[in-house]
């Protein structure tokens, strides 16, 4: 079934935030005026949650003081308190962890070119609400490493999906709420579609992102193709050399184009940019975009998975999709993918100049979506 929500906003006052979500018969858009609210830090967050009576409980409503629009003057977190490593599949995965070890698991997956700091404000909110939060560096990022020097630095979608399952196996997580955006949303989609027994529920920014090489053969209208300029650049030897030489500058440009109203400062960018110094980052990134166009081979061991994904399987697990009202990156319209979700479903439009990196630009809205979908 689908769920319709009234066109309401999430004001910054506790009295309005505490109102329940309205129900109706069919799916539509939920508009949220977030204005890039952020928390005032761990102490203020704990005090606010305690005052509201939110402690170790799923399905609560978050509220905290705002920190101004466009990310200006934000006083959010700058780091994770717990960073760990675990061997999982063909990787030694670096990940941040927050919250009680016996809490309901939440797996949060970042995109390109970003890193785990997209969730640096989201994670403590969920931890305070009682969730065990796992935020891994994807292959080619941060402290995640391939176990074999001979392994193909593969960025195809199936490989990232298998990585997520391997991580859950290594951490002995049977089932989790999975959230993501960009590459992370696609990976969440894949796990939800092919391994629904491992996904309790999902929050996916920009909706349904599973694709195929065959689908990507079809040309798009010129304006749409223009948005994918970097994909065509990466298809060339010059593009690969350029990304290797100017990785940080390239990533900063993508951030600016994908989130044109996000006024991130240099310290915020530098924290994430350090993850791009991973020795495999360029190779994995280039392979990902070349594979999409059929210009790079994947691995035969993923062929069966890719064949299933090429059918664009529906997703039956409870899902909330989200979109920022100022997303400058290529993304589908909600109406184009709503029918791909056959279980309980809701879409939320996050207003206030929110761009592509939604969890970092609107952490409270993203955390609330995780909490809400966990109780669907």
Kindly report the CATH class assigned to 14-374.
alpha beta
Q: Is the pLDDT of residue 336 over 80?
A: yes
Average pLDDT over residues 264-275: 98
Looking at residue 76, what is its pLDDT?
75
Contacts of 46 (CB under 8 A, 6+ apart): 128
pLDDT-derived band at 18 (thresholds 50, 70, 90) equals very low
What is this structure's pTM?
0.84
Query: What percent of the chain is modeled with pLDDT above 90?
Result: 79
Looking at residue 60, what is its pLDDT?
59
Residue 148 burial by Cβ neighbours in a 10 Å radius (0-12, 13-18, 19+)? exposed
Residues 270-284 pLDDT 10s? 999 999 999 999 999
Residues 94-112 pLDDT 10s? 999 999 999 999 999 999 9
Looking at residue 82, what is its pLDDT?
86
CA distance 281 to 119: 20
Looking at residue 61, what is its pLDDT?
62
Average pLDDT over residues 316-324: 98
Average pLDDT over residues 210-237: 96
Greater pLDDT, 23 or 335? 335
Residues 280-311 pLDDT 10s? 999 999 999 999 999 999 999 999 999 999 99
| Domain ranges for the chain | 14-374
Residues 51-97 pLDDT 10s? 333 333 334 566 543 333 344 334 578 999 989 999 999 999 999 99
Average pLDDT over residues 238-267: 98
How many CB atoms sit inside 10 A of residue 100's CB?
12
């Amino acid at each position: 079934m689908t769920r319709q929500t009234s066109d309401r906003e999430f004001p910054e006052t506790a009295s309005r935030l505490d109102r329940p979500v309205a129900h109706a018969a069919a799916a539509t858009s939920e508009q949220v005026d977030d204005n890039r609210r952020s928390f005032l830090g761990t102490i203020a967050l704990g005090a606010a949650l305690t005052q509201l009576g939110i402690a170790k409980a799923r399905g609560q409503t978050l509220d905290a003081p705002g920190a101004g629009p466009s990310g200006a003057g934000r006083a959010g977190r700058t780091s994770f308190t717990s960073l760990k490593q675990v061997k999982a599949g063909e990787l030694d995965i670096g990940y941040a962890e927050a919250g009680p070890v016996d809490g309901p698991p939440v797996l949060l997956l970042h995109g390109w070119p970003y890193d785990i700091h997209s969730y640096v404000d989201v994670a403590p909110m969920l931890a305070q609400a009682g969730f065990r939060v796992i935020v891994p560096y994807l292959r080619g990022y941060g402290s995640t490493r391939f176990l074999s020097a001979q392994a193909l630095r593969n960025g195809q979608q199936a490989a990232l999906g298998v990585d997520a399952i391997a991580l859950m196996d290594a951490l002995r997580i049977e089932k989790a709420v999975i959230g993501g955006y960009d590459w992370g949303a696609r990976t969440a989609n894949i796990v939800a579609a092919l391994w629904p027994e491992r996904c309790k529920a999902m929050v996916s920014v920009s909706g349904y992102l599973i694709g195929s090489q065959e689908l990507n053969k079809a040309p798009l209208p010129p304006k749409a193709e223009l948005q994918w300029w970097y994909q065509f650049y990466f298809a060339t030897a010059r593009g690969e050399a350029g990304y290797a030489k100017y990785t940080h500058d390239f990533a900063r440009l993508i951030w600016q184009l994908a989130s044109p109203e996000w006024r991130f400062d240099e310290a915020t960018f530098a924290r994430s940019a350090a993850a791009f110094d991973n020795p495999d980052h360029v190779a994995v990134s280039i392979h990902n975009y070349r594979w999409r166009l059929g210009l790079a081979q994947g691995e035969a061991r993923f062929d069966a998975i890719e064949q299933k994904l090429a059918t664009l399987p529906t997703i039956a697990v409870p899902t909330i999709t989200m979109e920022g009202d100022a997303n400058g990156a290529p993304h589908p319209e909600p109406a184009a993918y709503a029918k791909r979700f056959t279980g309980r479903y809701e879409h939320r439009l996050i207003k206030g100049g929110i761009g592509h990196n939604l969890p970092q630009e609107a952490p409270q809205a993203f955390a609330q979506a995780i909490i809400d979908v966990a109780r669907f």
